[in-house]
Structure 1
Amino acid sequence: MTDLKIYLEQLFQTNIWVKAVLYLLGFFVLGKLADLLIDQVLKRLAQRTSFSFDDEILELVHRPVFWTISLLGPVYVLDLLTQDRLEAYLLAAIKTLIALIWWVTALRFINWLTEKRLLYLIAQGRIGRDILYLFKNLLRAIAVIVGLLVILSIWKINLTPLFASAGIAGIALALAAKETLANFFGGISIFIDRTYRVGDYIIIDSGERGEVVDIGIRSTKIKTRDDVLITIPNSIMANSKIINESAPVPRFRLRVPVGVAYGSDLDLVERVLLEVAHQHPRVVKDPAPRVRLRAFADSSINLELLCWVEEPALKGLARHELIKAIDQAFARAGITIPFPQRDVHLFVRPEASEDLLKGPQID
């Protein structure tokens, strides 16, 4: 037994081909064990979780892991057998193959991420469809550029002239397409900051109010209540004051001003207003409607009915229906809604009154 052990040690030390075969077999077995670990153990553990993200990630990477570990065997064998220029070429070729495997895996991951996860954001109205394609193409471009740089570095190609040329081309592109780039990065900032999303009702600096129907690469489209479509560049939207009536919650508060005559029973007025709000089908119960006294005006005591509707789109219609219902309820309750009045007092001087009694003088 001792002699066999000594013989095997001498064989491994002196016979380089045996060592090469052992390298190949050893890394192949390690790759297969890693593949079985992922396929039989990690996947079963992932199936017990409540989300599918881990299952899909394991499905994407378990084959690349196997081939990467298996290809490390030839790398060690080449380092063991050859010491010339052929070794460098073959090693670069194997490393390029490994890089290509992970390159394809990265592209598959980008497709999965955009098709499965970003489509969910589109369904919720958080981003527009063209933003999805923008991110998909942008991530693909980044993956392609990084992959090419890795392969060029494997083959020891000088990248300095390439970077210099890219820098000059980038400066020229930035100067030629300044407005386009400003709109592009404005759209990115809108997406990251989540200032608004598709379906929100917003008011911009110039006073236009409407529903966001699309957030594109270059511009944002808003449909006003007059069914007019307004297209605004993202660079302007990113640097404007925007009131989002749909955030942080879609409920929208209505303020309905009401004036009643002096001498009215204010407790009765408050009860009537709250009853109208509670009976209105578009007014939500929580938060509850409320009435506030605001001012003693010239002709009336001013109050304000505060209530909430489900979404800003109901703002105009709900206000119309509430004002109509308040007018009818006040008429039934005998509550007077005053209008501005003026009392004019005429003061006539005594001498002027005598002249009026004499009548006109005829020459």
Structure 2
Amino acid sequence: MNIESLREAWAQIIAHKWLGALLVIFLYLILAKIVDLIFVKGLKRLASLTKITFDDAILRFLHWPVVLNVALLGLAHATYILNLGSRFEFIVQNLIKTIICLIWTVTAFRFVRWLTKRKGYFAERFGHLGADILVLLKNIAYVIIFVTASFIILSIWNVNITPLLASAGIVGVAVALAARETLANFFGGISLFLDRTYKVGDYIILDSGERGEVIDVGIRSTRIRTRDDIIITIPNSIMANSKIINESAPEPRFRLRVPVGVAYGSDLEKVEKVLLELVKAAPHVEKFPEPRVRYRNFGDSSINLELLCWVDDPRHKGPAMHHLIKRIHERFSEEGITIPFPQRDVHLYPAEESPKEN
């Protein structure tokens, strides 16, 4: 059978509208099955060879929507062949387009839900802020998908959406003006989340001088607890525009500086040896990086130095300093090392007799 014979056979089939429409539907169903096999036998096997799971999920979400789209295109083509009138064709064609739009809308909803299932992971790494923003972004994505799908469906049915867009713009401006502080805090929280400035459990110092542990990072505000067990709540819009010192980043350990002064007659080698010995036995002090002693300057009454060491967590700064000062005082007393204090020598001279008046 040559190509010319095939053309004649196809023309005869097309001459019978219903037979041609059924044949077109059948051919599209075969094409849909071929696409199905390409996904199952080809693409999914290739994706299984990779170490990441994201490509497997993408193929899982695209598989049946693509297959169904091919089948629905067959129905649309068959309707065009039947040529039953512009009104009937308009209704059927737009109905098929609407079904295709709904299929992809449901697929988008499922994909967003899959992306946001890792709420626990974000909560563990970023505290409540990560989980809250994830939920909020999911809801925003749902709204965007729903509104977009609604506008597409209305456009398919030739519904004028210009008034709806104008109304949406007016409502958006009104909401933005009424909730500008809330929106500022919300976007401040998002910027903190994206920048990873701090997370729950970090010790931070604000530019106003307060120091404490971050106990909660929410959509609207951040709360820190000071060493006096006082809770400070700061709006995220302020936190996003403030200088913040994070003592827990990038490493959780914290460098401790202990200032010490010794008398000018002290054996400096002995002083350094004693300090390094006692700091190695101190609680919460890290072995690496190793503690060190650095002489800083000649003071009025002493040679000033610093004992530098690292504690395992900023919350142990106070207890470690307390322990080290006590031990330094005890060991210096045992070793005969003097910690001087400011002294002044007062010299008294006899006053000269004032000259007698004439």
Instruction: State the Cα distance separating 1:58 from its structure 2 match.
Output: 2.5
Q: Is the 8 A contact 1:187 1:216 kept in 2?
A: yes
Q: In the alignment, is the contact (CA less than 8 A) between 2:291 and 2:310 conserved in 1?
A: yes
Give the alignment's TM-score, normalised by structure 1.
0.89
**Structure 2 residue aligned with 1:279:** 281
Residues of 1 paired with 2:10 and 2:46: CA distance?
Answer: 42
Indicate the larger mover: 228-237 or 280-289.
Answer: 280-289
CA distance in 2, matches of 1:6, 1:68: 28
Residues 125 and 199, structure 2, Cα contact 8 Å, conserved in 1? no
* Counterpart position of 2:180: 178
Counterpart of 1:317, as a letter, is P
Cα distance change of structure 1 residues 115 and 298 upon mapping to structure 2, 3 Å threshold:
same
* Gapped regions of structure 2 (runs ≥ 5): none
Show structure 1 runs of 5+ residues with no match. 353-363
Counterpart Cα distance in 1 of 2:250 and 2:232: 24
Q: Residue 228 of structure 1: CA displacement?
A: 2.0
Contact 2:259 2:304 in 1 (8 A): yes
- Which amino acid in 1 is paired with 2:21? A
For residues 115-171 of structure 1, what are the alpha-carbon distances to aligned partners after superposition, in whole Å with 9 as ceiling and x for unaligned? Answer: 12x431212235443223222212222222222222222222222211111111111
Q: 1:131 and 1:199 mapped to 2: Cα distance?
A: 18
State the partner residue of 2:151. Answer: 149
Aligned equivalent of 2:93, options 91, 94, 100: 91
Matched, 1:161 2:163: yes
Amino acid at match of 1:291: V
Flag the 1:61–1:296 CA change in 2: closer, same or farther, 3 A.
same
Please name the residue that 1:10 is paired with.
11
Partners of 2:255 and 2:202 lie apart in 1 by: 15
Q: For residue 113 of structure 1, report the CA deviation from its aligned partner.
A: 0.9
Q: 1:107 matched to which residue of 2? A: 109
SS in 2 for 1:39: helix
Q: What percent identity do the matched residue pairs reach?
A: 57
| TM-score, scaled relative to structure 2 | 0.91
* Letter of the structure 2 residue corresponding to residue 26 of structure 1: L
Matched positions, count: 351
RMSD of aligned residue pairs (Cα, Å): 2.1
Asked if the contact 1:128/1:198 (under 8 Å) is kept, the reply is no
Q: Give the AA of the match of 1:10.
A: A
Q: Say whether 1:24 aligns with 2:25.
A: yes
User: Following TM superposition, by how much is the alpha carbon of 1:215 offset from its aligned partner in structure 2, in angstroms?
Assistant: 1.6
Partners in 1 of 2:66 and 2:208 — Cα distance?
Answer: 56
Residue 54 (structure 1) shift: 2.5
For 2:350, give the aligned amino acid. Answer: V
1:247-262 map, 5 Å: 247-262=249-264
Partner of 1:44: 45
How do 1:129-140 and structure 2 match up within 5 A? 129-140=131-142
Q: How many angstroms does 1:195 deviate by?
A: 1.6
Task: Say if 1:210 and 1:225, in contact at 8 Å, map to a contact too.
Answer: yes
> CA offsets, 1:81-127, max 9 Å, x none?
234022122211111111111111111111111112x4312122354
